C-alpha cells in the first residue's frame, strides 16, 4: 500500500466539473451496549471467537423509544448545528430497517429538525448498499447544481434471531453527512465500479424484525461482488491498486473486511496475508467493533474511524467498497482534503460510545424485539433514551416522534 499523496488533493473532479464530496460527518447510536463476552458465556464458548474470530467486541442496542429515525435525527442534528441549513435542498435517508412501507423515514427527521419546507426527501433501500447509493445520487445533484447541498442519513438497527450465527453481528447506528461542492473532508473521484447479481444471501420479509441470512454463502457473495465491482472500476478509468492508500469496506463484522482485502490483493496481483491485511485496515475498525453491524451506516463508520485515527492522511486516496446483500455493490475512490483535520471530533465520538449503558444477557434478551413484527396500531413506549429525540409510540397506526 502506498503512503504517498496524490499530486492534486482535489483530484477527482470529472473534467470541467467542480470537485464534490463530504463536507462534514457525524454519528449517533442506541442507548445500550452489550458485550459479546456475555453472549459467549451464555453459549459456553470462547469469547475470542467473537473478539478475534469475527472481530467484534460490543454491539449497540436501541431502547424501546429509539429507532432509525431517532438515531438518524440525532446524527443529523449535529450536522445542522455545525453547518446550518443553507443550501440543503435534498435529504436522502438510507436504511435497511425502514419503519413504514410508504413514508420515508427522512420526512420524520425533516420534521424533528424543523428543516425548511423547500427540500425533497426520499428513502433509499438496497440492504447495506443504500447509503452509498444515496451518496452517489447526492453527487449527481451537486454536479448539476453546485450551489446545492445534500443531507444524507444512513441509519439501521441490525437484528437477527437469537441463537443464530448472525446474532453476534447485530448492532445499531446512524451516520449523517453533508455532500457539497469543494468539500473540506473528502473529494470523490468520478470513476465507479458497479455490480448487481440477484442472490438470496440475506433478506428480511415485511413481517419480520429479524433478517434471514445464509451466513457462509453471504460471505462468498460479498467476495464475488468485490471482485466484480473492482474489475468494473478498473475498466471504467479507476486508478490502480497501488495508487490507493487506504481501503474502507462495508463491515458487517470487521473480520469480513480482512477477508475482502485478502481477496482484493489477490485479484490485484499483490497478495497480502491475513495479518498484513488486518494491519492495513486496522484504522477503519475502531467504531464498528464497538457498534456492531449498522448496515447502511457501517462503511461510513469505517471511514470516520480512519479520519479519527492517528494516521496523517491529507492528500491520500481512500478506496471504498460497499456491499448490499441481494446483491448490489460498488467500488470508488475519494481523496482526503488538506484541511480535513479541522473537522475531526475523536473525543466527542468516543464520548458517544462511552455514554451507552451496558446491559447483561437477560437485559439483552428483554430488549430483543423477537422475530415477528407485532401488528399493533396503538401503543406507547417507555421513556428510556437520552437521545434528543424519542419514538413515543403508535397512535391509530401512525408513528409518533417527539423531542426528549
**Rule CB under 6 A: which residues touch ligand CAA?**
46, 48-49, 52-54, 128, 165-166, 169, 201-202, 213, 215-216, 218-219, 222, 250, 252-253, 255-256, 293, 295, 323, 325
**Closest to ligand CAA by CB, 9 or 166:** 166
| Minimum separation from the CB atom of position 368 to ligand CAA (A) | 16
The three-state secondary structure class of 169 is helix
Complex with ligand CAA: residue 327 or 333, whichever CB lies closer: 327
Cis peptide before 327 (omega within 30 of 0): yes
Which of 114, 112, 157 lies closest to 388 in space, CA to CA?
A: 112
CA dist 109 and 89 (Å) reads 14
Candidates 128, 189, 261, 368; catalytic one:
128
Q: Measure the CA–CA gap between 214 and 296, rounded to whole angstroms.
A: 19
Count of CB atoms situated within 10 Å of the CB of 323: 32
**Is 96 an active-site residue?**
yes
**343: closest CA among 94, 2, 10, 23?**
23
> Is the CB of 66 or the CB of 167 nearer to ligand CAA?
167
Q: Work out how close the CB of 334 gets to ligand CAA at its nearest, in angstroms, rounded to a whole number.
A: 21
Give the Cα separation of 153 and 134 in Å (integer). Answer: 9
390: Cβ contacts below 8 Å, ≥ 6 apart: 65, 66, 70, 381, 383, 401, 402, 403, 404
Closest contact distance (angstroms) between CB of 347 and ligand CAA is 29
Q: Which three cell numbers stand for residue 283?
A: 484504522
Between residues 48 and 145, which has the closer beta carbon with respect to ligand CAA? 48
End-to-end CA distance of the chain: 47
When the beta carbons of 274 and 365 are compared against ligand CAA, the nearer one is 274
By beta carbon distance, the residue nearest ligand CAA is 53
Cα 134 to Cα 125, 126, 177, 395: the distances in Å are 9, 10, 11, 31
Which strands sit side by side in the sheet containing 357-359, from one edge to the other? 58-61, 32-35, 357-359
On whether the CB atoms of residues 27 and 343 are closer than 8 A, the answer is no
**From 57, 64, 66, 96, the catalytic residue:** 96
Q: Nearest distance from residue 136's CB to ligand CAA, in Å?
A: 18
- 50 versus 401: smaller Cβ distance to ligand CAA: 50
Q: Which of 38, 250, 261, 349 is catalytic?
A: 250
C-beta of 150: minimal distance to ligand CAA in Å?
A: 24
Q: State the CB neighbour count (10 A cutoff) for residue 146.
A: 15
Q: Known catalytic residue: 250?
A: yes
Q: What's the closest the beta carbon of residue 255 comes to ligand CAA, in angstroms?
A: 6
Q: Catalytic residue positions?
A: 96, 128, 250
Amino acid at each position: 500500500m502506498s503512503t504517498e499523496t496524490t499530486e492534486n488533493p482535489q483530484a477527482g473532479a470529472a473534467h470541467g466539473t467542480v470537485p464534490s464530496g463530504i463536507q462534514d460527518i457525524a454519528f449517533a447510536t442506541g442507548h445500550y451496549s452489550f458485550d459479546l463476552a456475555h453472549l459467549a458465556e451464555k453459549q459456553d464458548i470462547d469469547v475470542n471467537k467473537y473478539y478475534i474470530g469475527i472481530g467484534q467486541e460490543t454491539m449497540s442496542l436501541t431502547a424501546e423509544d429509539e429507532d432509525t429515525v431517532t438515531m438518524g435525527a440525532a446524527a443529523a442534528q449535529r450536522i445542522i448545528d455545525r453547518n446550518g441549513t443553507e443550501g440543503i435542498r435534498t435529504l436522502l435517508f438510507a436504511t435497511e430497517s425502514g419503519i413504514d412501507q410508504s413514508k420515508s423515514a427522512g420526512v420524520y427527521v425533516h420534521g424533528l429538525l424543523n428543516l425548511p419546507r423547500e427540500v425533497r426527501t426520499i428513502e433509499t433501500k438496497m440492504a447495506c448498499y443504500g447509503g452509498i447509493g444515496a451518496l452517489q445520487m447526492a453527487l449527481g445533484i451537486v454536479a448539476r447544481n453546485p450551489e446545492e447541498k445534500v443531507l444524507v442519513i444512513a441509519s439501521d438497527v441490525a437484528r437477527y434471531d437469537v441463537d443464530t450465527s448472525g446474532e453476534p453481528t447485530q448492532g445499531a447506528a446512524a451516520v449523517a453527512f453533508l455532500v457539497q461542492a469543494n468539500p473540506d473532508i473528502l473529494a470523490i473521484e468520478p470513476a465507479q465500479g458497479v455490480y448487481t447479481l440477484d442472490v438470496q444471501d440475506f433478506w428480511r420479509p415485511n413481517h419480520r424484525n429479524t433478517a434471514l441470512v445464509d451466513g457462509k454463502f453471504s460471505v462468498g457473495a460479498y467476495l464475488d461482488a468485490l471482485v466484480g465491482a473492482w474489475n468494473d472500476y478498473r475498466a471504467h478509468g479507476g486508478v490502480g491498486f497501488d495508487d490507493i492508500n487506504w481501503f474502507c469496506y462495508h463491515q458487517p463484522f470487521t473480520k469480513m473486511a480482512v477477508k475482502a482485502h485478502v481477496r482484493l490483493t489477490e485479484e490485484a496481483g499483490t497478495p497480502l496475508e491475513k495479518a498484513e491485511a488486518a494491519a492495513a485496515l486496522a484504522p477503519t475498525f475502531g467504531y464498528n467493533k464497538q457498534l456492531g453491524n449498522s448496515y447502511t451506516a457501517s462503511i461510513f463508520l469505517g471511514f470516520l474511524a480512519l479520519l479519527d485515527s492517528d494516521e496523517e492522511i491529507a492528500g491520500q486516496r481512500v478506496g471504498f467498497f460497499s456491499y448490499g446483500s441481494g446483491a448490489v455493490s460498488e467500488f470508488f475512490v475519494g481523496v482526503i482534503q488538506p484541511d480535513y483535520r479541522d473537522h475531526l471530533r475523536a473525543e466527542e465520538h468516543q464520548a458517544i460510545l462511552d455514554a451507552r449503558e451496558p446491559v447483561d444477557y437477560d437485559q439483552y434478551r428483554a430488549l430483543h424485539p423477537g422475530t415477528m413484527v407485532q401488528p399493533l396500531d396503538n401503543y406507547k413506549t417507555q421513556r428510556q433514551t437520552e437521545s434528543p429525540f424519542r419514538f413515543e409510540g403508535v397512535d391509530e397506526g401512525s408513528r409518533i416522534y417527539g423531542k426528549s
